[in-house]
């Protein structure tokens, strides 16, 4: 049976792949990191749309993927509606900052959102934010350079940027007027969760999107009758438009996966 395609501008989507593997261990996955054309987060929509279309076509032509997960907030915001229109029969799941779960969990009604500038400026995010802004106050923080630092494995830069951006959103805590819930609005950011938790404090909830995305992907495949026999052993193939070695190193580090 055909694999499930997963793509991101870089290694951040491995956080989504990790959740997908946990939800559907029998499935085969092909993960494509568009590192040769990254970053997406500070690019315009036209650029991201062109790259998304090229990647989707490659995954269909070369791997006949049976479903697609756009494991990138920026690409989802810019292009998911176009991919759905152009490939209506392809089960498709995008990602978006988890504002709705954050609203359900927050007690102080003050929620931090860390994301790329492209995601925060998108019409898709604006619609999501506008629908919820009466239910909580959102502190929106563009995090220029953070995804790149995580991608590069630059621990010192990751730590410095996490401190800069959490300082800008502070105070954090469980009292009135404090941010008690932090949305990680880029798939790279869960790989800096230890640093972020240390900076915000143990009482602050960090919200990412991997598990709900994985559950939705499973629901779509189940409805289409395309889930593999649960006794099967799933495999993963890693692809990159830039350095494959860097992707394999990240997968080994974060997923205990060697390709």
For domain 4-95+210-255, give its CATH number from 3.40.190.10, 3.40.50.1860, 3.40.605.10, 2.40.128.690: 3.40.50.1860
Among residues 6, 77, 79, 186, the one annotated as catalytic is 186
Structure confidence by residue, pLDDT tens digits, 100-153? 999 999 999 999 999 989 889 888 899 999 999 999 999 999 999 998 899 888
More confident residue, 186 or 198: 198
Copy the structure tokens of residue 170: 């502070």
Is the fold of 4-95+210-255 the same as that of 99-207? yes
Q: What is the mean pLDDT of residues 34-51?
A: 90
Distances in whole angstroms, Cα of residue 190 to Cα of each of 52, 82, 185, 233: 23, 27, 9, 26
For domain 99-207, give its CATH number from 3.40.630.30, 3.50.50.60, 3.40.50.1860, 3.40.30.10: 3.40.50.1860
In angstroms, rounded to a whole number, what is the distance separating the alpha carbons of residues 194 and 202? 10
Residues with Cβ < 8 Å from 240, sequence gap 6 or more?
32, 33, 34, 35, 36, 246, 247
Among residues 32, 71, 72, 102, the one annotated as catalytic is 72
* Residue 258 confidence (pLDDT): 53
In angstroms, rounded to a whole number, what is the distance separating the alpha carbons of residues 103 and 106? 5
* Residue 259 confidence (pLDDT): 46
Domain extent listing, the chain: 4-95+210-255, 99-207
In angstroms, rounded to a whole number, what is the distance separating the alpha carbons of residues 150 and 190? 10
Is 186 annotated in the active site?
yes
In angstroms, rounded to a whole number, what is the distance separating the alpha carbons of residues 29 and 17? 8
pLDDT higher than threshold 60 for residue 86 = yes
């Amino acid at each position: 049976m055909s694999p499930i395609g997963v793509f991101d501008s870089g290694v951040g989507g491995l956080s989504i792949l990790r959740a997908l593997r946990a939800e559907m261990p029998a499935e085969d996955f092909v993960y494509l990191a568009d590192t040769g054309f990254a970053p997406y987060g500070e690019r315009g929509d036209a650029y991201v749309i062109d790259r998304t279309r090229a990647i989707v076509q490659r995954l269909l032509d070369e791997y006949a993927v049976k479903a697609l997960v756009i494991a990138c907030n920026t690409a989802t915001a810019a292009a998911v509606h176009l991919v759905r229109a152009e490939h209506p029969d392809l089960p498709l799941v995008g990602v978006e900052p988890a504002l709705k779960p954050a609203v359900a969990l927050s007690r102080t009604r003050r929620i931090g959102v860390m994301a790329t500038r492209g995601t925060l400026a998108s019409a898709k995010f604006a619609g999501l934010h506008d629908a919820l802004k009466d239910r909580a106050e959102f502190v929106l923080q563009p995090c220029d350079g953070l995804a790149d630092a995580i991608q590069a494995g630059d621990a010192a830069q990751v730590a410095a940027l996490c401190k800069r951006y959490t300082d800008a959103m502070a105070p954090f805590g469980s009292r009135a007027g404090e941010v008690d819930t932090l949305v990680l609005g880029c798939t790279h950011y869960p790989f800096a969760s230890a640093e972020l938790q240390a900076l915000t404090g143990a009482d602050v909830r960090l919200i990412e999107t991997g598990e709900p995305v994985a559950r939705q992907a499973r629901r779509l495949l189940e409805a289409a009758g395309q889930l593999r026999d649960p006794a099967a052993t799933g495999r993963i193939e890693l692809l990159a438009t830039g350095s494959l070695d860097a992707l394999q190193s990240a997968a080994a580090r974060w997923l205990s996966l060697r390709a």
